[in-house]
Amino acid sequence: MSQLDVFSLDGRVAIIPGGGGAIGSAMAKALVGAGARVAIVDQTEEKAEAAAAPIRAAGGDVLALGADVTNEADCERAVAATVERFGRLDIIVNAVGGGAGRVLFDAEAYPRDAWDWIMELNLRSTLLATQAAVKAMIAAGHGGRVLNISSVRATLGINAGYSAYVAAKGAISSLTRQWATEWAKHGITVNAIAPTFVDTPQVAMLLDDPAFKAGIVGRIPLGRVGGTDDLTGAAIFFCSAASSFVTGQILGIDGGLTATQ
Ligand SMILES: NC(=O)c1ccc[n+]([C@@H]2O[C@H](COP(=O)([O-])OP(=O)(O)OC[C@H]3O[C@@H](n4cnc5c(N)ncnc54)[C@H](O)[C@@H]3O)[C@@H](O)[C@H]2O)c1
């Protein structure tokens, strides 16, 4: 018996919508490394499989599923396929989202279609996937873990056309607290991580601009943007027994950025 056993995910089953993406695939690899079996869900089975294949080749038990998690029926289907394959569901990590850098507009003229797209990608995806997963957790009666991905943008404005994204991430943080409150009676904890910029293809366009990157890094006390591996330790903590008495919390993973505000 080791003190590290509280972080073990042996016997646990996780579903990761967006698991084919940069952060989601790092989460999938980390949870498998901690002992979980994982269903990776992405827009197409091919995209999910591309993330699943290397984890499977390294010995992990991973299922790849194609589903549109902004669609209720797809979410129900993905959860059912996960339970059918692995026999249970303990954890959902919501890793679908982003898009902000593709729709930067002045606040006074923020277009409705861009607003709706960001809300759907970030907020509706998290809502519908979580509802489907949590219904299964409640029915099974053995508790569970929900981990959302918010952002420092939930609390910090940025002078760069981010209206829809800050609104969506603010809502994710609020929902994290609301769901924690409602689902505690089922033994389900709900937490979120709130990263600053993480070096991923989604934000490459922004970070490729030296002036923009210097502005961001200059405000981060630890002097760099994040990497996907900076997020995985917290994910294992929030998805394991180590965080049994922690719920409704938003953990900044931001190199100290929010500490300076
Ligand atoms: N990259 C960053 O700097 C950063 C910083 C803070 C927070 N985040 C958040 O982390 C999360 C993941 O970001 P990322 O950089 O890994 O993005 P990503 O684009 O690499 O990953 C998102 C994945 O979700 C999938 N997806 C999109 N819509 C879907 C749908 N309807 N159904 C199923 N799958 C769908 C995409 O195909 C993609 O694989 C997002 O919520 C993002 O806002 C990212």
- Going from the Cα of 22 to the center of ligand 1, the distance in angstroms, rounded, reads 7
* Ligand 1 mutation target, pool 79, 96, 212, 229, most atoms within 8 A of CB: 96
How many other C-beta atoms lie within 10 A of the C-beta of residue 245? Answer: 6
Structure tokens at 134: 């949590």
pLDDT at 60: 98
Share of residues in the chain with pLDDT > 90 (%): 96
Mean pLDDT of 100-113: 96
Q: Is the pLDDT of residue 29 over 90?
A: yes
How many other C-beta atoms lie within 10 A of the C-beta of residue 248? Answer: 17
Ligand 1 neighbourhood includes 42 CB (under 6 angstroms): yes
Q: Could you give the domains of the chain?
A: 3-198+228-251 (3.40.50.720)
Please name the residues in contact with 66: beta carbons below 8 A apart, sequence gap of 6 or more.
41, 42, 43, 44, 45, 46, 47, 48
pTM of the full structure: 0.98
Question: Of ligand 1's atoms, which has the minimum distance to the CA of residue 68?
Answer: 32
- Model confidence at 1, pLDDT cuts 50, 70, 90, reads confident
Ligand 1 neighbourhood includes 95 CB (under 6 angstroms): yes
pLDDT at 92: 99
CB 13 within 8 A of CB 84: no
Mean pLDDT of 100-109: 95
Structure tokens at 46: 């091919």
Ligand 1 neighbourhood includes 18 CB (under 6 angstroms): yes
Mean pLDDT of 25-48: 98
* Ligand 1 mutation target, pool 15, 25, 40, 43, most atoms within 8 A of CB: 43
Ligand 1 neighbourhood includes 125 CB (under 6 angstroms): yes
pLDDT at 135: 98
Q: Is the pLDDT of residue 191 over 90?
A: yes
Q: Which of 162, 165, 183, 237 is catalytic?
A: 165
Please name the residues in contact with 131: beta carbons below 8 A apart, sequence gap of 6 or more.
72, 75
Residue range 129-147, pLDDT digits in tens: 999 999 999 999 999 999 9
Ligand 1 neighbourhood includes 226 CB (under 6 angstroms): no
Q: Is the pLDDT of residue 206 over 90?
A: no
User: Is 162 designated active site?
Assistant: no
Q: In sequence order, what are the beta bridge partners of 68?
A: none
- Model confidence at 235, pLDDT cuts 50, 70, 90, reads very high
The mean pLDDT of the chain is 97
CB 24 within 8 A of CB 51: yes
How many other C-beta atoms lie within 10 A of the C-beta of residue 119? Answer: 17
pLDDT at 32: 98
How many other C-beta atoms lie within 10 A of the C-beta of residue 17? Answer: 35
CB 34 within 8 A of CB 9: yes
Which of 153, 152, 183 lies closest to 247, judged by CA? 183
Q: Is the pLDDT of residue 160 over 90?
A: no
DSSP 86-112: HS---EEEE-----GGG----GGG--H
